[in-house]
Each structure stands twice: as structure tokens, then as C-alpha cells.
Amino acid sequence: MRPVRTAFAGALLGTLVLAGCGQTGANVAPSESPAQTAAAASTGDFPVTVEAGNGQVTLAKKPERIISLSATHTETLFAIGAGPQVVAVDDQSNYPPEAPKSDLSGFKPNVEAIVAKKPDLVILSNDQDKIVAELAKVNVPVLLEPAATKLDEAYEEIAEIGAATGNKAKADEVVSGMKSALDKLAAEAPKDKKLTYYHELDQTPYAATSGTFIGQVYAMFGLTNIADKAPDAAGGYPKLSAEFVAQSDPGLIFLADVKCCQQSKETLAKRPGWKNLSAVKNDQVIQLDDDLASRWGPRVVDLAQAIGAAVAKAGGAG
């Protein structure tokens, strides 16, 4: 099982849930060989089997009524050309604007409400309330793609969604484009200065270490994460004390709690001991888009661009 932090999936920080390998019921078809799977996926032919978080999932035909219960996967579906196949997305899916937003919830899934929309594929990132098994009971195919913990997992999930929806070629193109863009951004990052940073998930303040997905994006730019030395850093999302941040004095502060919590350089300056932080005094507090900072789909490139621009600015100032 892979741990999924709901804050990273776009909700407010506070709970840690497990996206388990649920029972797949009628979705399991272990008899198909890897060679057959690869051949089918490469051409977009069906039936096709993909390896997801809930095991091997077989789709007899190209799905035409897809429901996404994950904001990240909604973005992926539209990026790979599967938008016309999507009939409904969850209440947290706000991008792209044309996505058919509904009152369905990925955090409190309602089987009856989902089934009422007659989906032939449901894609989600959390197995909340054992929804995978519940949908299997009524023969609704489910693709569980948990929150990625590293970039390679994000690439794999995009490819899997592409294969499952008959859009593998476009999905491969998206992944290739992401890799090229991220490599370019990393190569262009200043190499003459070692910068420290603090990434704030929420104003409590919770942070993210280098071992998390978001931390690995920062690592591309050679940044040193102050949260890595926090007392409870092993879990990946330590709650830092105001004193710890003040003593660490990061050169850059990235805020991922702008929309949800209205945080800014001005609000940071009001915290005990923070008005004299280098990042605050030198105007190196970067307000990120909360959505970009909490999703692991194609728009991770946009997040990396924002980080890269801040690094370049800080490097130039030095």
C-alpha cells in the first residue's frame, strides 16, 4: 500500500489516509500476458489490461463514460485527449474549466450517485470507504492511481490512464514533453549558489521534506530543504515550530496555502521571530498556486517553472 496525504491531493492538511490495494472483483484478469497487454496498449485496441493501485484492471472496450474522482486525474484525462469521454468529475476538479464538474466527492464517495451516471470507468486516487470494492460489486471498472511519491510514478500513472482510455500515444507524448521541460528547467537553474528553502503546506506550519513528491521537484534545482533536519522529518510532512524555521532562516519561502489560508509575506512577518527572516526581508517569499502545488499531473511543469523563476531571481540577487 502507498500512503496518500490528502493535503497533497488538494484538500486541507490534517489527515493521512491509505490508498490501499482494494479488491478488484470483476476487474481482475491475470490471464493476459504482459506481451499481450503491451501490444494492446500500444495500439489503443481493447481489451486492455493495466496495472494500477488496485491490481490488474481489464477493460473490454474503450470507455466512453468516464468519471474522475481526483483533480489530478481530471487534469491528466484532458491533457491526453480523453476529455470527450469524461461525463463527470468530482467537486474538487477545477481544471480545465471545461471539465464537467459535479457534486461527486472523492473523499466521501457515494456509490449510488456514481452509478446513477452510468460510468464505464471510474478513476480515483483514494480508496475511501472501500469504494473500489463497492463499485466492483456492481461491475463498474475502477482505476485506482494513488498520489505519486516521485516523478516516475506520476509518469507511470499518466501512461496507465492513457492505456486504459485508449489514448496511450497522446499520454506518451505528454510524459515525454514533461520530462523534456523539467530537464530543461533543471539545466537552466543557477549552479553557483546553494539556496535553502522552506515549503509551507499550511500555516500551522506543516512542511514537506525532500523525500516527498514536492520535495523532489525542488531538488531538481539544487535547493536545500530546511525541513529535512526537523525532529519528525521521517514521516515526510513534519510540523515545524516557529523557532525551528527562525533558526534555520531559509533563503526562500514557498507558500502553498495562499488560496486556502490567505498566507503571504505580510502574514509571515507577523509570526513570532519571522519578520527578520532573510526570505521575508529580501522579498523572497513566493506565493504558489495551491492547486499546482498539490497535484502530480501534467501541470507539475507549471509548478517547476514557478520554482525555477524564484531560484533564478534569488541567484541573480546573490
Q: Which CATH number fits domain 190-317: 3.90.1170.50, 3.40.50.300, 3.60.15.10, 3.40.50.1980?
A: 3.40.50.1980
- Contact between 226 and 209 under an 8 Å Cβ cutoff? The reply is no
Taking the C-alpha atoms of residue 68 and residue 125, their distance in angstroms, rounded to an integer, is 9
68-72, 112-116, 189-193, 233-237, range with the lowest pLDDT: 189-193
What is the percentage of the chain residues whose pLDDT exceeds 90? 82
Provide mean pLDDT across the span 217-221.
95
- Contact between 168 and 146 under an 8 Å Cβ cutoff? The reply is no
- Contact between 164 and 63 under an 8 Å Cβ cutoff? The reply is yes
Kindly report the pTM of this predicted structure: 0.85
What is the percentage of the chain residues whose pLDDT exceeds 70? 84
Q: How confident is the model at residue 36 (pLDDT cuts 50, 70, 90)?
A: very low
Taking the C-alpha atoms of residue 225 and residue 233, their distance in angstroms, rounded to an integer, is 11
The answer to whether domain 2-179 and domain 190-317 are alike in fold is yes
| Residues in Cβ contact with 56 at an 8 Å cutoff, skipping those fewer than 6 apart | 24, 27, 28, 29, 30, 32, 49, 50
Q: Could you state, in order of their start, the residue ranges of all structural domains in the chain? A: 2-179, 190-317
Q: Does domain 2-179 match CATH 3.40.50.1980?
A: yes
Neighbour-count burial for 56-79, b at 16+ CB within 10 Å, e otherwise: bbbbeebbeebbbbbbbbbbbbbb
pLDDT at 316: 60
